[in-house]
Amino acid sequence: MFEVSDRFTGGRGVMVLGAGGVRYFYTHLDDYAEGLREGVAVTPDTILGYVGTDGNAAGTPPHLHFGAYAFDPETCRHRAFDPLPLMVDRERLAER
């Protein structure tokens, strides 16, 4: 895991460091999962927290802000990219 913080613009959030240095960002959490702390290894089955309206989502319906950021060597910064191609139906994969 990379970072657990309530100081993100979206309030309570978790930044997970994945393969290839990709950062996965989850925010607007109502609460963190029990035992979650920085440095804990996570898997796709790990519960990180619970959907809420924290941070700049106050007054909106509960939801999760999810983002994916890859390192750009030209700018030495992480750039957001469309995470949709990374999202697959795990049940379908298990059937194969």
**What's the pLDDT score for residue 96?**
58
**Helix extents (H) in the chain:** 90-95
pLDDT digits 0-9 by tens, 51-72? 999 999 999 999 999 999 998 8
**What's the pLDDT score for residue 90?**
57
Rounded alpha-carbon distances, angstroms, from residue 42 to 27, 60, 68, 72: 16, 29, 16, 24
Say what the pTM is.
0.80
Instruction: Identify which has the larger pLDDT, 92 or 22.
Output: 22
Domains of the chain, first to last: 3-95 (2.70.70.10)
**What's the pLDDT score for residue 19?**
86
Assign 76 to helix, strand or coil: coil
DSSP 60: S
